[in-house]
Amino acid sequence: MHIQINNKPFYFRLLIFYLHIKWTLYIFFKTPLHKRLRLSGFVMGLWILSLFGWRLASVLRSCYFWFRYVDDIVDHDLKCQESIEEFSQSRKELLENIHDEAKLSKLKLKQIDWLIIDVYYACLKLGYDNQTSMLTLYEALEYDIIRTVENKTYYTKAEIKEYFDKLDIPSVLMTFQFINEKAVTVDDLAALIDATRTRYNLRDFIQDLLVGIVNIPLEEIEQYGIDIKQCLLANDLTEALRYEPFKLWFKDQLAYIEERLATGSLVVKEKPLRFRTRLALTYSFINPCEASLKKWRLLV
């Protein structure tokens, strides 16, 4: 597989560019509205990043679009001809064998799978074997499938943290590998990652709830006396915040975001980061958190 890529680099890069255009248009025009509004700006940022390094931006887009595709299948936003369990197993098999050209050539690949193959071999050229990180990230996306199969709604704080660590840490680690950023580590950005993850959970709370995903830890549901059934009666976040126990929990989450954001922003300010790293962290992490805090404070 690697040999084929190297033998026809022009045609391979043309295919990758075509897939990037296809999935950019999909996100801008075909994703559900609640996703489109939040994803379109991020995708536009990935294209703007091309100004600072075309190959880097291309790899980041390949990685994002492939995992976006998987996530949309899992969330039932995209139709799948096979069962979710079969789809999940086949994608995992791809990642498990991505390093072995002989085994990879025997798999039934979808056109979009060339994106993740592009990512793997691009990282090899940079001196990184990111197979483990990709598998860990994929296992995190499988979490929603597991929840459905197990029919388990509530999880402890430790279980939820384990899931999000699998999702967030490999994402940041692979990005640092792509851009060759060595002035900061994932541990350095723990506070900023926490703030961003909490923001995501609050932003998506109603949509997640409708598909049976509750990202309030069991301990906090009991601590605040939250009846999830009351939250399900709400059509949006504004309505949910009329329910006092949930509102109290939400306010404490805003305070947590504010505290972790202040710590994380200080790290970004003081570390000798490359310009594009600082720009990406500000654009994708700090600014969205600040905007959400400003908006949500008006609701509580």
Predicted local confidence at residue 103, as pLDDT: 87
Q: Are residues 81 and 141 in the same domain?
A: yes
- Reduced to 3 states (helix: H, G, I; strand: E, B; else coil), residue 167 is helix
Cα 159–Cα 163–Cα 168 angle in degrees, nearest 5: 140
Instruction: Write the pLDDT tens digit of every residue in 82-111.
Output: 888 888 889 999 999 998 888 888 888 899
Region at 257 (left for phi over 0; alpha for psi -120 to 50; beta for the rest): alpha
CA 77 from chain center: how many Å? 16
Cα 105–Cα 109–Cα 115 angle in degrees, nearest 5: 105
Q: Which of 152, 186, 220 is the last residue of a domain?
A: 152
Q: Is the pLDDT of residue 258 over 90?
A: yes
Q: Are residues 18 and 77 in the same domain?
A: yes
Share of the chain above pLDDT 90, in %: 49
Instruction: Write the pLDDT tens digit of every residue in 162-179.
Output: 888 888 888 888 888 777
Task: Say if CB 178 and CB 118 are below 8 A apart.
Answer: no
Q: Are residues 71 and 193 in the same domain?
A: no
Handedness of CA 256, 262, 268, 271 (dihedral sign): negative
Q: Are residues 104 and 187 in the same domain?
A: no
Which residues form the domain of 247? 172-300
Burial of 192 (0-12, 13-18, 19+ CB in 10 A): buried
Q: What is the pTM of this model?
A: 0.82
Name the pLDDT band for 1 (thresholds 50, 70, 90). Answer: very low
Q: Are residues 130 and 235 in the same domain?
A: no
Q: Is the pLDDT of residue 149 over 60?
A: no
Could you identify the residue written with the tokens 């580590």?
185
Instruction: Write the pLDDT tens digit of every residue in 227-242.
Output: 999 999 999 999 999 9
Q: How many domains does the chain have?
A: 2
